[in-house]
């Protein structure tokens, strides 16, 4: 008996020490939490943040679903009977959607939810703000995982608050540029080989110009030709003039330049047909023509009409842009079209062009029609997210393509930095002879010691 009593005492003492150690550990983590989160955010999230969030989600799930109207009552007859003859027993609890295991992610967590009969993903999308408030996280996003299941993703803090500027030297492949960060914490990459044509919209001071700066700064380091069309007298794109192979500063020059680009794509088509390949990437590397990225700033200036002559120019511009969008991806010509206001009221050509621009970026806009033009045909959830961007969220945008959508923010590239990069890499500006006679084209004399690349593969200095 004495031995058993001693064993019990030892066990109790051991349990007490474990309890004290656990309490001390938790207390230490709570006291050191702010410093740990500031200096070692990953360790803080694993040791303290994620366990606390899991407890919070488990504790609030049932009342949250009931409060958002996502709980389904049991059969009415069963509820009435239990109240009349159940000897005071409480009525049966309503059914709530079944929640999967909470899993950590970079900067947050996620889990799957099985929908109850009659529910649709949009019901959970509407409840996302309530989830964020109840769980005390920055934002919650709900997307369809597969029929009957939705994926709930929560971000504990704002990953778009200060995206880090990546080191562009050697980091990106041809026609692939890292321009910022997406809401998941991953890098925001624009890959023109994957999505060849982009539409970028945004009001004044929304971040549109900053995104273009980041894109051009990345492309300037690569062996590509940059062509600019800026019908506001070149106020925006003239910053990159040393690195541009051609620049049109009014609509007349734009019509001439776009016509030259269309002729260039037709020449490249003949080269590919003669070589029996389907695109320029099938040509031998020493015969492959230089890729061309056409940047159009303020699309509305190309479509506004004040006279009959301007109507003809606008139609010519529209036709040329649509042809480049249809043919360019296979022939090494890529479009980045930007504007403050883009709507069907500018003419039928805008809608036809929009259909060819598979990549979309929507910053804060001044009118709902522009957001509808940019995202309405791709994803209604993306449209709602774009319309919720506030003036204080400059740089934040919603990017969408056929693969889905994300909130993102470009890293800051100032006008001075863009101008410096253009000057630093001016020696990489290719001489494209087809564009020399077009408005604003760069001549061979303007680009000394630059290798001249021609469609037939010949090279001169």
Which ranges constitute the DSSP H helices of 150-250? 208-219
For residues 347 and 76, give the distance between their C-alpha atoms in angstroms, rounded to a whole number: 57
Q: Where are the domains of the chain?
A: 14-69+94-155, 176-460
Q: Is 440 annotated as a binding residue?
A: no
pLDDT the model gives residue 458: 38
Q: Is 339 annotated as a binding residue?
A: no
CB atoms < 10 A from the CB of 380, how many?
12
Q: What is the pLDDT of residues 188-245, one digit of tens each?
A: 999 999 999 999 999 988 889 899 999 999 999 999 999 999 988 888 888 899 999 9
3-state secondary structure of 170: coil
Q: Is 204 annotated as a binding residue?
A: yes
Residue 292 has pLDDT above 90, yes or no: yes
Spatial contact of 116 and 95, defined as CB atoms under 8 Å apart:
yes
pLDDT the model gives residue 362: 94
Report, as an integer, the average pLDDT of 457-461: 36
Report, as an integer, the average pLDDT of 6-19: 55
The architecture of the domain spanning 176-460 is: 3-Layer(aba) Sandwich (3.40)
Q: Is 347 annotated as a binding residue?
A: no
Residue 176 has pLDDT above 50, yes or no: yes
Report, as an integer, the average pLDDT of 266-272: 93
For residues 365 and 205, give the distance between their C-alpha atoms in angstroms, rounded to a whole number: 10
Task: For residue 108, list its beta bridge partners.
Answer: 105, 155
Please report, for residues 73, 355, 383, 386, 453, the alpha-carbon distance to residue 131 in angstroms, rounded to integers and kept in the order given: 21, 35, 21, 20, 57
Spatial contact of 167 and 391, defined as CB atoms under 8 Å apart:
no
3-state secondary structure of 148: coil
Query: What angle separates helix 380-387 from helix 368-375, to the nearest 10 degrees?
Result: 150
For residues 249 and 251, give the distance between their C-alpha atoms in angstroms, rounded to a whole number: 7
Q: Is 420 annotated as a binding residue?
A: no
- Same CATH topology for 14-69+94-155 and 176-460: the answer is no
Q: Is 282 annotated as a binding residue?
A: no
Match domain 14-69+94-155 to its CATH number in 3.30.980, 3.40.50, 3.10.620, 2.120.10. 3.30.980
Q: Is 288 annotated as a binding residue?
A: no
Spatial contact of 220 and 428, defined as CB atoms under 8 Å apart:
yes
Q: Is 207 annotated as a binding residue?
A: yes
pLDDT the model gives residue 165: 53
pTM for the predicted model, two decimal places = 0.74
Q: What is the pLDDT of residues 84-114, one digit of tens each?
A: 555 555 556 788 999 999 998 877 899 999 9
């Amino acid at each position: 008996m004495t031995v058993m009593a001693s064993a019990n005492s030892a066990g109790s003492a051991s349990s007490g020490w474990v309890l004290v150690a656990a309490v001390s550990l938790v207390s230490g983590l709570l006291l050191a939490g702010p410093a740990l989160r500031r200096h070692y955010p990953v360790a803080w999230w694993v040791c303290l943040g994620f366990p606390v969030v899991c407890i919070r989600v488990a504790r609030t799930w049932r009342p949250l679903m009931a409060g958002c109207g996502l709980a389904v009552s049991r059969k009415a007859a069963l509820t009435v009977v239990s109240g009349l003859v159940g000897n005071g027993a409480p009525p049966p609890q309503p059914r709530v959607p079944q929640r999967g295991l909470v899993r950590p992610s970079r900067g947050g967590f996620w889990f799957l939810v099985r929908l109850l009969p009659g529910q649709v993903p949009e019901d959970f999308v509407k409840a996302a703000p309530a989830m964020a408030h109840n769980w005390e996280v920055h934002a919650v996003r709900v997307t369809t995982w597969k029929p009957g299941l939705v994926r709930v993703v929560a971000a504990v803090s704002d990953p778009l608050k200060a995206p880090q500027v990546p080191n562009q030297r050697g980091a990106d492949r041809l026609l692939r540029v890292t321009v910022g960060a997406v809401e998941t914490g991953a890098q925001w990459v624009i890959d023109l080989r994957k999505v060849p044509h982009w539409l970028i919209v945004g009001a004044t001071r929304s971040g549109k110009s900053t995104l273009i700066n980041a894109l051009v700064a990345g492309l300037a380091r690569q062996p590509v030709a940059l062509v600019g069309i800026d019908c506001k007298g070149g106020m925006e794109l003239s910053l990159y003039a040393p690195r541009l192979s051609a620049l049109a500063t009014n609509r007349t020059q734009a019509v001439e330049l776009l016509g030259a680009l269309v002729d260039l794509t037709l020449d490249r088509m003949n080269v590919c047909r003669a070589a029996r390949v389907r695109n320029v990437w099938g040509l031998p590397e020493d015969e492959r023509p230089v890729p061309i990225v056409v940047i159009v700033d303020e699309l509305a200036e190309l479509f506004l009409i004040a006279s009959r002559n301007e109507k003809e120019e606008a139609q010519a511009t529209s036709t040329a842009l649509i042809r480049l969008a249809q043919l360019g991806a296979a022939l090494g010509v890529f479009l980045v079209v930007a504007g403050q206001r883009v709507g069907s009221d500018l003419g039928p050509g805008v809608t036809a062009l929009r259909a060819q621009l598979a990549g979309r970026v929507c910053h804060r806009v001044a009118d709902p029609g522009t957001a509808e033009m940019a995202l309405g045909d791709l994803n209604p959830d993306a449209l709602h997210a774009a319309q919720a961007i506030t003036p204080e969220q400059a740089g934040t945008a919603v990017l969408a393509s056929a693969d889905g959508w994300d909130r993102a923010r470009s890293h800051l590239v100032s006008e001075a930095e863009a101008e410096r990069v253009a000057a630093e890499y001016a020696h990489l500006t290719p001489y494209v002879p087809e564009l020399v006679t077009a408005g604003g084209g760069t001549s061979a004399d303007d680009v000394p010691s630059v290798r001249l690349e021609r469609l037939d593969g010949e090279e001169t200095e």
